[in-house]
């Protein structure tokens, strides 16, 4: 098959029918090939060129894309962005944000980008070096949602860079080349120019073989995610996750269940630490996680939340009926309740201190028996007759008093 037909046949497989399509075009060989192929197939409606403003020539290159699109009779827009710091990740984030906003503005349901099979091979190797898991090794998705009603589609993911070069030559397309792609200061460039050529000596069709591997890994990750969703639903309740059952799950499923419960992506070192935390089911143990999050196992329940800092000693004198603010709550003492308490001696609303007592003994023993976590004890409002007799604690002591803690 000739290079033009080969590329267009693969691009035609992309799920674009029935959608307004916005093509992201930089003016480079890949994106110009994508634009040209989609124009020939009648599947493009808008063109956008993101100008990262990181090179002096970028503005002129963007205007070249506009001229090319208009030659095809298509509306085209330059989207200038400001990259907060000069890195590939920051440029990518700014680019997708601008493209998504423009797609929404023009009513496009698809953003078509020009990642090739060679790009996919580079991404897989890059993530292998970084130690990614199954989902990460699946590399770039063929289709993924980027906003409600807007999908990102990669029609060239089965086309290699060599095939793109042949298409550009056959169609006599005018393209620009970003010198950043040849800068060996970037790991991805080193993989592209130094590692992949060595691997292709062992297998000529390496790029497409690695794309197929990524597809299989994506299917595996989807199946594991579906299993994890079912187990998370089965193991979770208002008290957290069933730590005993979590410990019995295979590592791949348990890691995903934990990530769902935590609400953030966790590295393997954190997953392993949480599994060890769940190995014992007695007492309360906790573990600090990234972002100020804490995993806490209370007996056989595992919960995630924000670690509470010790607020220090807090003490509010009680002088009569009314509302008293205490840390995160407001405690109300009604007039009839005050009539009972007025003769009790000096009263304060304060937090837990070592040596506090209740009628049955030490308050600390009661808190342990009721499984009140240590970090929460210092945030619990206590009505205390000085020096250390606790008359009331919400849900624990003094139920006969008509007091209420109002968040």
Please answer whether residues 7 and 159 qualify as being in contact, where contact means their C-beta atoms are separated by less than 8 angstroms. Answer: yes
How high is the pLDDT of residue 13?
95
Is residue 225 classed as helix, strand or coil in its secondary structure? helix
Share of the chain above pLDDT 90, in %: 61
Give mean pLDDT, residues 53-82.
94
Please state the rounded mean pLDDT for residues 273-297.
Answer: 85
Q: With cut-offs at 50, 70 and 90, classify the pLDDT of residue 280.
A: confident
Model confidence at 168: pLDDT above 80: yes
pLDDT of residue 238: 81
CATH class of 238-306: alpha beta
Grouping H, G, I as helix, E, B as strand and the rest as coil, residue 345 is coil
Q: What is the mean pLDDT of the chain?
A: 90
Mean pLDDT of 390-403: 70
pLDDT score recorded for residue 268: 84
Helix locations, 236-294, DSSP H? 243-248, 251-262, 268-277
Range(s) within the chain of domains with CATH label 3.40.50.620: 3-208
Question: For 350-361, how does the pLDDT look when each residue is reduced to its tens digit (9 = 90+)?
Answer: 999 999 998 888
End-to-end CA distance of the chain: 71
Architecture of domain 3-208: 3-Layer(aba) Sandwich (3.40)
Average pLDDT value for residue range 306-330: 86
Give CATH 3.30.465 domain extents, the chain.
238-306
Is residue 406's pLDDT more than 50? no
CA dist 140 and 11 (Å) reads 17
Q: What is the pLDDT of residue 399?
A: 53
Q: Which residue has the higher pLDDT, 34 or 54?
A: 34
d(CA 284, CA 375): 11
Listed residue (122, 284, 290, 140) closest to 206, CA to CA = 122
- The pLDDT of 291-301, averaged and rounded, is 85
Task: Give the three-state DSSP class for 265.
Answer: coil
- Nearest C-alpha neighbor of 103 from the set 73, 140, 146: 146
- Which carries the bigger pLDDT value, residue 406 or residue 234? 234
Which pLDDT does position 401 carry in this prediction?
A: 43
Mean pLDDT of the 296-303 span: 88
100: nearest Cα among 140, 152, 55: 152
For the ranges 113-122, 281-290, 305-314, 320-329, the one whose mean pLDDT is highest: 113-122
- Please give the residue that has the higher pLDDT: either 179 or 39: 39
Tokens of residue 382, six digits: 């206590």
Compare 230 and 404 and report the one with higher pLDDT.
230
Q: Which token pair is 123?
A: 């991404």
User: What percentage of the chain reaches a pLDDT higher than 70?
Assistant: 98
Residue 63 confidence (pLDDT): 96
- The pLDDT of residue 284 is above 90: no
205-242 confidence digits (pLDDT tens): 999 999 999 999 999 999 999 999 999 999 998 888 99
Output the pLDDT for position 40.
Answer: 97
More confident call, 132 vs 395: 132
Say if residues 382 and 354 touch (Cβ distance below 8 Å).
Answer: no
Kindly tell me if the per-residue pLDDT of 28 is higher than 80: yes
Band (pLDDT 50/70/90 cuts) for residue 405 is very low
């Amino acid at each position: 098959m000739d290079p033009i037909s080969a590329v267009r046949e693969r691009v035609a497989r992309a799920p674009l029918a029935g959608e307004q399509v916005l093509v992201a075009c930089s003016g480079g060989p890949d994106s110009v090939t994508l634009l040209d192929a989609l124009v020939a197939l009648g599947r493009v409606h808008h063109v956008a060129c993101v100008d990262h403003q990181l090179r002096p020539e970028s503005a002129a290159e963007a205007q070249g894309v506009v001229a090319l699109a208009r030659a095809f009779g298509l509306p085209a827009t330059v989207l200038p962005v400001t990259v907060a710091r000069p890195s590939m990740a920051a440029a990518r984030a700014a680019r997708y944000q601008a493209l998504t906003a423009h797609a929404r503005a023009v009513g496009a349901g698809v953003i078509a980008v020009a990642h090739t099979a060679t790009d996919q091979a580079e991404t897989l190797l890059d993530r292998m070096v970084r130690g990614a898991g199954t989902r990460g090794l699946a590399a770039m998705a063929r289709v993924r949602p980027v906003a409600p009603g807007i999908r990102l589609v990669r029609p060239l993911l089965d086309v290699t860079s060599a095939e793109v070069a042949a298409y550009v030559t056959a169609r006599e397309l005018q393209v620009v080349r970003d010198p950043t792609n040849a800068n060996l200061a970037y790991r991805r460039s080193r993989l592209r120019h130094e590692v992949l050529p060595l691997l292709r000596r062992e297998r000529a069709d390496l790029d497409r073989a690695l794309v197929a591997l990524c597809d299989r890994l994506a299917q595996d990750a989807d199946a594991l995610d579906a299993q994890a969703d079912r187990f998370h639903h089965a193991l979770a309740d208002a008290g957290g996750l069933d730590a005993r059952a979590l410990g019995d799950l295979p590592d791949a499923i348990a890691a995903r269940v934990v990530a769902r419960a935590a609400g953030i992506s966790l590295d393997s070192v954190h997953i392993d630490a949480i599994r060890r935390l769940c190995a014992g089911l007695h007492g309360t143990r906790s573990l600090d996680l990234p972002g100020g999050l804490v995993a806490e196992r209370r007996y056989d329940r595992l919960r995630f939340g924000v670690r509470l800092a010790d607020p220090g000693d807090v003490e509010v004198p009680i002088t009569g009926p009314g509302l008293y603010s205490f840390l995160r709550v407001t405690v109300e003492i009604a007039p009839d309740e005050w009539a009972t308490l007025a003769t009790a001696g000096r009263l304060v609303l304060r937090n837990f201190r070592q040596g506090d007592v209740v009628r049955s003994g030490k308050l600390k023993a009661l808190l342990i028996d009721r499984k009140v976590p240590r970090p929460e004890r210092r945030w619990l409002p206590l009505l205390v007759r000085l020096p250390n007799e606790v008359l009331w604690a919400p849900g624990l002591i003094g139920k006969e008093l008509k007091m209420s803690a109002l968040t």
